[in-house]
């Protein structure tokens, strides 16, 4: 049986960076907290917990003299301020690409632009970017919600890092057509696009596809939805979930994984299939 693994399977740059920062901090510090799971992968979160990294859900749970990690998708300005008031150490693992989106939004706001943020309102990354416009920016979730505002002469656009470039370009074109001044910062990161494109390419070639990653991971679930439209597929968290009888008769198996899936889980899947 042949196996084809996507070259984009597994950690993106921002997730890998966040995990490395937390792991090395865990070696030196005793009280280390992440507000919510560091990434959407239960196996990785469990492993970090065994190293003393505790997941909390309320700021009140933070003890004095501890370290709180800011996750790769960043936090709002207000949350950062509250953390500082608590007198704790902050380990900022915000992905540099997300930070750029925050800075560009702030720049646009400070320079009098009506800031348009193309993204998902409830996503923590978008909430954080929004806070950098003092909540005066407008979040547009999809291009049908395009809106022109009274007495606004200049627009400034940024996007959530995981959005589609194609859709963002359509939105940008609408603002260009309908305003005298429009500044655009392309804050979209290529990681998601590359991973999805490669998954599609592999799905075309293989008989069956495994998508490895947390069931609570939005980007892994999206990958699974994409490939299953092309070939039979299964979303699994670990190699233990592989039903050998289901794939025994196939010639080529494809494998991809979400941005929060560690390499060792992907390798476990590869090794299990190799033994068939
Ligand atoms: S998907 Fe891109 S922006 Fe988001 S954490 Fe990964 S590298 Fe950073």
Torsion angles phi and psi, residue 134, rounded to 5:
55, 35
Give residue-wise pLDDT tens across range 75-109. 999 999 998 888 899 999 999 999 999 999 999 99
Residue 125 is a catalytic residue: yes
189 CB under 6 A from ligand 1?
yes
| DSSP three-state, residue 56 | strand
| CB of residue 208 inside a 6 A radius of ligand 1 | no
Query: CA-to-CA distance for 203 and 254, rounded, in angstroms?
Result: 7
- Does residue 160 have its Cβ closer than 6 Å to ligand 1? no
Question: Catalytic residue among 16, 46, 49, 125, which?
Answer: 125
133-152 pLDDT, tens digit each: 999 999 999 999 999 999 99
Q: Are 191 and 259 in contact (CB under 8 A)?
A: yes
CA distance 33 to 178: 46
- pLDDT of 153 > 90? The answer is yes
Which of 229, 228, 217 has the alpha carbon at shortest distance from 192? 217
| Atom number in ligand 1 closest to CA 12 | 6
| Ligand 1, atom nearest to 13 Cα | 7
For residue 161, the ligand 1 atom closest to its alpha carbon is: 3
Ligand 1 near 129 CB (within 6 A): no
Q: What is the pLDDT of residue 59?
A: 84
In this predicted model, what pLDDT tens digit does every residue of 168-223 receive, in sequence order? 999 999 999 999 999 999 999 999 999 999 999 999 999 999 999 999 998 999 99
Q: What is the pLDDT of residues 209-261, one digit of tens each?
A: 999 999 999 899 999 999 999 999 999 999 999 999 999 999 999 999 999 99
Q: How confident is the model at residue 30 (pLDDT cuts 50, 70, 90)?
A: confident
């Amino acid at each position: 049986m042949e196996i084809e693994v996507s070259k984009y399977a597994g950690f993106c740059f921002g997730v890998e960076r966040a995990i490395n920062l937390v792991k090395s901090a865990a070696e030196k510090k005793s009280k280390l907290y992440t507000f919510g799971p560091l990434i959407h992968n239960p196996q990785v979160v469990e492993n970090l917990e065994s190293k003393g990294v505790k997941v909390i859900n309320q700021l009140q749970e933070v003890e004095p003299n501890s370290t709180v990690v800011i996750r790769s998708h960043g936090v709002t300005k207000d949350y950062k301020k509250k953390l500082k008031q608590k007198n704790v150490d902050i380990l900022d693992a915000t992905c540099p690409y997300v930070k750029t989106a925050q800075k560009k939004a702030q720049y646009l706001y400070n320079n009098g632009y009506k800031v348009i943020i193309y993204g998902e309102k409830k996503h923590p990354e978008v909430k954080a970017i929004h806070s950098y416009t003092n909540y005066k920016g407008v979040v547009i979730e999809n291009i049908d919600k395009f809106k022109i505002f009274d007495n606004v002469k200049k627009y400034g656009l940024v996007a959530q890092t995981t959005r589609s470039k194609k859709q963002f370009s359509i939105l940008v074109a609408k603002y260009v057509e309908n305003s005298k001044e429009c500044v655009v910062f392309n804050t979209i990161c290529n990681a998601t696009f590359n991973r999805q494109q490669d998954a599609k390419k592999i799905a075309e070639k293989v008989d069956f596809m495994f998508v490895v990653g947390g069931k609570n991971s939005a980007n892994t679930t999206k990958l699974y939805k994409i490939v299953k439209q092309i070939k039979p597929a299964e979303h699994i968290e670990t190699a233990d979930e592989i039903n050998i009888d289901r794939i025994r008769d196939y010639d080529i198996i494809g494998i991809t994984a979400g941005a929060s899936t560690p390499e060792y889980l992907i390798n476990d899947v590869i090794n299990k299939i190799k033994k068939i």
